[in-house]
Structure 1
């Protein structure tokens, strides 16, 4: 670990096989350093009225994604969205403990422990005020990758999605991936799945058109297809629609939730077989989300 000043310490990490992959761990005890914004490298400005603060943070930047996990005394954060690259990004706060006030334009949201807030793309400055000692995650992602679903303001208490995304992001930032191309692809997919899960959770599905419903189902399937036992009823529940309404909407565009789920699992099975030709059939089936090798073979044969 490298001592930069008496007020804080930092530790950097890079991975030569992951272009754009950077990690940084920061620990501040004492006055807030005037260079803390450049040290944090999170694209935000920090300030406080206290003469002494304690901050610990771990950051991971990879492609269009930024994850910051940390704990801080009462502090103010400002996200100035001056450039196009920043204006096209969504930002989520997953708060574990404490309370924050999030404001931008006319929007004001009070976020408590175990809650999540999503901030959509835009050019208005975002202000975040920690009213007390807080801990949690900040997750920045490219809104374009969520298309056709739009990223909108969203505030909710926890739940399965909150817990799953929090666990995934914490694991990613605390235990960086090994240096190989497969890990890079897996990490990229996991970050995309985390962002998609939050956006899907925030999407009011009742007003979606048929093509948008199709894309929503594809996002849900992409996030959950590897879970053995995940089925059409689960897809319907996550869209917020009844199974009958969901199937009718997808029938209008020439498909069904069962077909989408089966096709994605079959695609994964073919990919694993090509990448790992000696992998046991049972393992291929399980990692693809099929309940058995027999079910997998039938799905693959049905596509021939």
Structure 2
């Protein structure tokens, strides 16, 4: 295991470049070293199906925040949560490539590329099982940092919040240490804002799941309609419902998830065509979530026909 500490502790001067901040890189190629938990000091165990692994990661520890940006061959990561401090932490997973099973005593889910999952504080281990080569970011923070906001299990295809936070965390994990204490204060504020935005979005979605399915569907569609291939199955998954239950609830209020998604895409396409008449059809389709210009034209023609009838 190769490890490069980019900020480290000195007995005469404390943490370098300033207290509470540490970054490091580590690389594993071959057999997993014994006692890796003590090396990482993160309360985790790594297990590889072939007892060998290829892992590269950049890590940032800053006060109550931890950011890890890396990629790995198939592996199991077990976050043991044995200490009280670990049991009070929220875990956010951003998967960029591959697939990952996330499980604990409370819940299990499958995380696919470009998705995000939030694991709330609690006791008992959390197991991350990678079936294939994966890449992504792990973000962990003390839940007390954001009290009284509560964390719930959350699984989403992502959107503006995910992309913005992911870019920030990637930069934080891979950038060189900053010797300026003022810059450190700014970074801490950014990390807290990132955690806050994730919890606000997930809490809003969770509350809507409990009260208003139609409002929840509209929120999900507004965040995801521009993603080509996003469908009713994706809406149901983010709503935490089976497709059948989702459709039944919407039928009760004379609504349809497919219709809401289609109309939002058409609305966006019509606005683009009006505001930018020379914009190529392929660009309009892409920005509106249609798979191709042909699909876009069919949707617009169908909309005009329904309005005329």
Q: TM-score, normalised by structure 2?
A: 0.62
CA distance in 2, matches of 1:109, 1:81: 19
State yes or no: 1:12 paired with 2:9. no
Q: Which runs of 5+ in 1 are unaligned?
A: 1-7, 209-304
Structure 2 residue aligned with 1:222: none
CA distance in 1, matches of 2:5, 2:118: 28
Structure 2 residue aligned with 1:186: 186
Structure 2 residue aligned with 1:139: 139
CA distance in 1, matches of 2:6, 2:112: 32
* Partner deviation per Cα, 1:257-278 (whole Å, 9 max, x = no partner): xxxxxxxxxxxxxxxxxxxxxx
How far 1:34 moved relative to its partner?
A: 1.4
How far 1:81 moved relative to its partner?
A: 1.2
- What is the total number of aligned residue pairs between the two structures? 201
Structure 1 residue aligned with 2:195: 195
How far 1:180 moved relative to its partner?
A: 1.3
Alignment of 1:1-304 (within 5 A): 8-14=1-7, 16-204=16-204, 207=207
* Partner deviation per Cα, 1:229-259 (whole Å, 9 max, x = no partner): xxxxxxxxxxxxxxxxxxxxxxxxxxxxxxx
Structure 1 residue aligned with 2:254: none
Structure 1 contact 92–138 (Cα < 8 Å) conserved:
yes
* Partner deviation per Cα, 1:133-155 (whole Å, 9 max, x = no partner): 00001111011122221011101
CA distance in 1, matches of 2:182, 2:58: 23
- Deviating more after overlay: 154-163 vs 177-186: 177-186
How far 1:28 moved relative to its partner?
A: 1.0
Note closer, same or farther for the CA distance 1:79–1:173 as it changes in structure 2 (3 Å cut). Answer: same
What secondary structure sits across from 2:150 in the alignment?
coil
Q: TM-score, normalised by structure 1?
A: 0.63
How far 1:206 moved relative to its partner?
A: 8.7
Note closer, same or farther for the CA distance 1:165–1:49 as it changes in structure 2 (3 Å cut). Answer: same
Q: Which runs of 5+ in 2 are unaligned?
A: 8-14, 209-309
Structure 2 residue aligned with 1:285: none
CA distance in 2, matches of 1:99, 1:150: 27
How far 1:41 moved relative to its partner?
A: 3.0
CA distance in 1, matches of 2:156, 2:176: 29
Structure 1 residue aligned with 2:12: none
What secondary structure sits across from 2:169 in the alignment?
helix
| Structure ID, larger Rg | 2
CA distance in 1, matches of 2:87, 2:145: 14
What secondary structure sits across from 2:203 in the alignment?
coil
Structure 2 residue aligned with 1:211: none
Displacement over 6 Å in runs of 4+: none
- Deviating more after overlay: 9-18 vs 151-160: 9-18
Note closer, same or farther for the CA distance 1:126–1:51 as it changes in structure 2 (3 Å cut). Answer: closer
* Partner deviation per Cα, 1:109-132 (whole Å, 9 max, x = no partner): 100000111010111211110111
* Partner deviation per Cα, 1:32-57 (whole Å, 9 max, x = no partner): 11132223333211011214321101
TM-align CA RMSD: 1.7
